[in-house]
Structure 1
Amino acid sequence: LMTVVNYSVQDTFGNNEFFWAGTQWFEEVLASERFHQALMRNLIFSGLILAIEIPLGIVIALAMPKKGWGVPVCLVTMALPLLIPWNVVGTIWQVFGRVDIGLLGHTLEALGVDYNYVKDPVDAWVTVIVMDVWHWTSLVVLLCYAGLVSIPDAYYQAAKIDGASRWAVFRYIQLPKMKRVLTIAVLLRFMDSFMIYTEPFVVTGGGPGNSTTFLSIDLVKTAIGQFDLGPAAAMSIIYFLIILLMSWVFYTVMTTADQEKR
């Protein structure tokens, strides 16, 4: 960390010679249109991920059995995507989406759908989003399922006696009881999606163009591809502060939820 801080306020031309730069790199990064665009991609991506994965996770959790042999089968099935390493997930979807040999790409082409994530930015975004949904919706499902199975049967029995509809049961019994796990799911998925790197880097490399170049990918390109250590270090610190802010929000929300529960 201190090395990054050191690079962020200095400039080097090699031969282990450093020159004081002050806040120059921070000013350049914060004023950079490239940084703003990458940050906006992160925010849009995280927003789309939450809008898809949270409702989908709730629906799947509600559909899962609460008793019987189907419970362990469903839990194991849901856990499988979470056990796959990130780089392997990227490789799977890279091959899966190829038009020549990939099942998805070849099928879409056979149906007359013009799909090519290598050339079309929209297709690249759709591929990355679907890949993330496939990989991480299971986490939301498992968290929601844990909240559902913790609800005592007495609540459902009382609702049945009162003649409550399924929507009323969900709104007044299940949803309030899932409030805490949903808070955890939302914040975990937001933070994780905001830091996404490996999967889109493997699938698209940040392309086509810069359409899927998120902050993490832009940081790696700046540090390793261009060897601009000063701007990369400044960007790292700014990125770190953003994550730190989100962590503080996570802690604050969780603390508030605990206090309300008591």
Structure 2
Amino acid sequence: MTAISLGLDDRGGLLIDDCRINSARLLVVDRKDSLQGARHGGFNSGLHSLAQRLPVSVSRMKDRTQTGWLFVLPSVLILSLIGLVPLLTVVNYSFFEIFILDARFWVGTEWYAEIIGSGRFWASFGRSLLFSTMILCVQIPLGIAIALCIPKRKIWVGITLAVLALPLLVPWNMIPSLWLSLLNPETGLLGRILPYLGWPDNWKLSAQHTWAVIVVMDVWHWTSLVVILCYSALATIPQSYYQAAAIDGAGPWQVFRHIQLPKLHHVLLMAVLLRFMDSFMIYTEAFPINAGGPNGATMFLAVDLGEDIKAFNYGPSAARSVIYFLIVLTVAWMFSKAQGKLDGTEAT
């Protein structure tokens, strides 16, 4: 049963608040029409006219919703096929021992038990988790700081954002080549400067230096995304908030904590999710740097998966892919729950 609350506005018009019509959408009645109804026939005639028009309005809203779904349905079907067919194929392969694509033997969950019980998996998992943690600890605070320092004038805002977006335009497969060229001790700019700061020429033999290169490379490539997201949220804050804070004598830290940071909650949650998912499965940028070396120090989850694929171990590699997918899906679900709690907190 639909609950409808009625009342009169300040002009004598009839207002209706229906919170359950058409998926909890608010049905707004034209005040002019309701006012005319009240004038000609009083409250009862206006209510009678409104009751006659209510089913028509709901029917029109339903028709528009159905028409919208007809336009969206082809894209939904195409994206579902693109995503589901490869996923189901990989899940199917994970239960077989595959020698060639036409010769396979059922092994059940053997690959899953072997992978989860191996130290190799947990070592690569720990490296990937450590790398993602380092990336988030650097990129999120750095992105917020840069976003706060962007000039306020419109012309400089456009120029600054355009310059910051340049690293995002570089293809993933070109990033390692670019940095390896810069670090070349004979021809690279950084390769000639860094030795004066104690950087070794054979840095690929050091796990610490290899990690430093990969982390700095990823920070250079993706911090701009965090900056743009944070600036887009900061730009929505009305100037009246800052004026009120200035009148109250609030300092920069109070302004950031009580005005800017609450506006960044949703954007930061999105930035953390995007950067975690991408950095956790890093491969294209990491593998060309040192191919998982030295001595497996940069053998991340995706790099480890690539080694299985190159060895034609289709069954174990498929099982690894499913496990990695479930990990990322679980993290995405946790972020979704956190987003829902954040929305509920702000609503109350």
The reply to whether TM is greater than 0.5 is: yes
Q: In structure 1, what residue type is equivalent to 2:299?
A: T
The alpha carbon displacement at 1:249 in A equals: 1.9
Confirm or deny that 1:239 pairs with 2:324: yes
Which residue does 1:24 correspond to in 2? 110
Once residues 156 and 185 of structure 2 are traced to their aligned partners in structure 1, the CA distance between those partners, rounded to angstroms, is 36
Count the aligned residue pairs.
261
The alpha carbon displacement at 1:115 in A equals: 5.1
Which residue does 2:268 correspond to in 1? 182
Q: From 287, 290, 295, give the equivalent of 1:201.
A: 287
Which residue does 1:105 correspond to in 2? 191
RMSD (Å) for aligned C-alpha atoms:
1.6
Q: In structure 2, what residue type is equivalent to 1:36?
A: W
Where 1:199 maps in the other structure, the secondary structure is coil
Which residue does 1:228 correspond to in 2? 313
Which residue does 2:137 correspond to in 1? 51
Q: From 157, 162, 165, give the equivalent of 1:76.
A: 162
Q: In structure 1, what residue type is equivalent to 2:98?
A: T
Which residue does 1:171 correspond to in 2? 257
The alpha carbon displacement at 1:139 in A equals: 0.7
Q: From 137, 152, 162, give the equivalent of 2:223.
A: 137
Work out the percentage of aligned pairs sharing the same amino acid: 50
Q: In structure 2, what residue type is equivalent to 1:138?
A: S
Confirm or deny that 1:34 pairs with 2:34: no
Which residue does 1:250 correspond to in 2? 335
Q: Deviations over 1:142-185 (max 9, x none)?
A: 11111111110011101111111111111111111211111111
Change in CA separation of 1:15 and 1:253 when aligned onto 2, cut-off 3 Å: closer
Once residues 234 and 167 of structure 1 are traced to their aligned partners in structure 2, the CA distance between those partners, rounded to angstroms, is 49
Once residues 185 and 233 of structure 1 are traced to their aligned partners in structure 2, the CA distance between those partners, rounded to angstroms, is 29
> Are 1:7 and 1:229, in contact at CA under 8 Å, matched by a contact in 2?
yes
The alpha carbon displacement at 1:44 in A equals: 0.2
Unaligned runs of 5+ in 2: 1-86
- Larger Rg, first or second structure (1 or 2): 2
The alpha carbon displacement at 1:52 in A equals: 0.5
> Are 2:98 and 2:313, in contact at CA under 8 Å, matched by a contact in 1?
no
Q: Deviations over 1:101-147 (max 9, x none)?
A: 22222211144432543211110000000000000010111111111
Once residues 160 and 148 of structure 2 are traced to their aligned partners in structure 1, the CA distance between those partners, rounded to angstroms, is 12
The alpha carbon displacement at 1:55 in A equals: 0.6
Higher relative contact order (CA 8 A, sep 6+): 1
Once residues 247 and 202 of structure 1 are traced to their aligned partners in structure 2, the CA distance between those partners, rounded to angstroms, is 28
Q: In structure 1, what residue type is equivalent to 2:279?
A: S
> Are 1:25 and 1:231, in contact at CA under 8 Å, matched by a contact in 2?
yes
Once residues 258 and 222 of structure 1 are traced to their aligned partners in structure 2, the CA distance between those partners, rounded to angstroms, is 42
> Are 1:41 and 1:212, in contact at CA under 8 Å, matched by a contact in 2?
yes
Unaligned runs of 5+ in 1: none
Where 1:18 maps in the other structure, the secondary structure is strand
Where 2:161 maps in the other structure, the secondary structure is helix
TM-score normalised by L of structure 1: 0.94
TM-score normalised by L of structure 2: 0.72
Q: In structure 2, what residue type is equivalent to 1:182?
A: L
> Are 2:168 and 2:224, in contact at CA under 8 Å, matched by a contact in 1?
yes
Confirm or deny that 1:260 pairs with 2:336: no
Where 2:226 maps in the other structure, the secondary structure is helix
With 133-142 and 165-174 compared, the bigger mean Cα shift is at: 165-174
> Are 2:95 and 2:106, in contact at CA under 8 Å, matched by a contact in 1?
yes
